[in-house]
Structure 1
């Protein structure tokens, strides 16, 4: 028993070390790319300084709306009613914490602590976050499917990747089924998760909040980038910009950098330039998106996080 307890933290520490090492590697690569293309970054920053203020304000309003949507989705993932003001403040703080720790760990830790403070057992809080994350991924996938149908040919699958996807999908599904059948702990977790999903969807208001908040969260993030592209006079249709954002952010999520810093920037810039957008214009659009969603809210978000901790809301 003692050996198991010692081995578990050791395994977690090893995983954390590897994740931190990968984060440092990605950030170093992003810094190298920024240094190599510094002239383009400078030109993009100068163009952003002359951008249309009205569109930037619209983008800022959309960025603020994402915190409300995240709060709505989290309320939809749990049955008990959560205090609205603290719930929204927690999402604002979680957004800031997400820029410090990799792979969404910051937001997950803040939300988990908030739900536990509201009286949810640890297991129920974890499954609520899993329900919210799953709904968010499905909502993002649905938006990509709809926009891809509206913008045919914009997203191209690299040669050979389609065959690999057809092989990988059944393999992953078989591995999950095997894990659930052979591991009692996995079966218990799946049972609890399905029970929470049934409880939430048995209440129409909770289900509407979960799915509506998840859809609106992804759509508003795409709308922020659309507003910034309008501000810097990037002549791309709004559906195409939204589709490029959703695809790029999904790809960047595979690399566990804090808040997608480096990985999302590179993926967004690459996605925009593949449409023929000049590199300087793409850089200014990405810088504007990051300014509105990360850098401006970061310090206030950390202050709100500190205040919530002091008041024992987290």
Structure 2
């Protein structure tokens, strides 16, 4: 019988390292998702790239510069929606990664999930982080609609055509859909008890933060200025691509078509707005006098630059942030 001090130690229990395996899977998941999407939608990417290959390189270079400039708008708006100051480098990286996630999952779920994880990792309480996401989601369409109304008020004769003015039936359908969404949200909050407490906490925090943020000029400029500038930058990318392929519409007409299409169908829960918004933009540009083939080519080229070009780098940044436990 060995003395107690000289006893052979028992082997430690086997640990499978589930958290490490899960994190490794999350690191690979964005890249795998992008690969699967590329395989499914390869024809669109190929056609768009081939058409851009014969376009004016000067205009394409301008479109590429504007695309890179647009990547800074989301971090600007995110910072404007939060009282706490976030590290600029990590904020930009997280929003670049969120852009990749946004084009995989519908209704901005991917981007909001990435941002929520980032904010919690920076020590932001859940209620305040959720309130920040809600404020970000609410201000963007409001600012876009205000810019659209400014365009209509300043240039009604240039922009309004009979095909772009919605008829009474369409207006009633839109109003009914908005009312139905509000009623469904109210019923969900009142009937599902587990959701009531966190949603009410987020609402109280949002109201407090809105009052606080609007006492700071820098936050007002970042939130509202960034929200108004973002769609104009995106419209400028579309205009530059259109000019590169020979589209004859002015910047004002292209910007109006882009704003009107996003305002009309931007709430449709498609990943990154791809699909419904594209069709609406083509319809709006054709209604303003552009040829169908050039309008479709411009929209495809716009998607190649703004979606496919940053998609793989964004997925790699997302994987790196997960591996470094920033997310």
**TM-superposition CA deviations, 1:128-186 (whole Å, max 9, x none):** 01111111111111111112222441431124334556777788778888999999746
Change (3 A) 1:47 1:296: closer
Q: Deviations over 1:1-40 (max 9, x none)?
A: xxxxxxxxxxxxxxxxxxxxxxxxxx9xx98xx99xxxxx
Structure 2 matches for 1:229-248, cutoff 5 A? 229-248=242-261
Indicate whether 1:90 and 2:94 are aligned. Answer: yes
C-alpha contact 2:253 2:288 (8 A) present in aligned 1: no
Q: Tell me what 1:111 maps to.
A: 115
What does 1:50-61 correspond to in 2, within 5 Å? 50-61=54-65
Q: What is the CA–CA distance in structure 1 between the aligned matches of 2:221 and 2:56, rounded to whole Å?
A: 36
Q: State the distance in 2 between where 1:199 and 1:50 align.
A: 51
> What TM-score do you get using the length of structure 2 for normalisation?
0.76
Q: 1:276 aligns with which of 289, 294, 299?
A: 289
Which residue number in structure 1 is paired with residue 136 of structure 2?
A: 132
Task: Tell me, in whole angstroms, the C-alpha distance in 2 between the residues paired with 1:171 and 1:264.
Answer: 21
Q: Which residue matches 1:146?
A: 150
Q: Does 1:285 align with 2:298?
A: yes
Kindly report which structure 2 residues correspond to 1:1-314, keeping only aligned pairs within 5 A, or say none. 47-149=51-153, 150-151=155-156, 152-154=159-161, 155-163=164-172, 185=197, 187-314=200-327
The higher radius of gyration belongs to: 2
How far residue 255 of structure 1 moved from its aligned partner, in angstroms, is 2.4
Query: Could you tell which deviates more after superposition, 62-71 or 147-156?
Result: 147-156
SS in 2 for 1:79: coil
Q: Give CA deviations for 1:83-104 in whole Å, capped at 9, x if unaligned.
A: 1111111111111111111111
Measured after TM superposition, the shift of residue 265 of structure 1 is: 2.2
TM-score by length of 1: 0.79
Deviation at 1:312, TM superposition (A): 1.2
Count of paired positions: 278
Secondary structure class of the residue paired with 2:111: helix
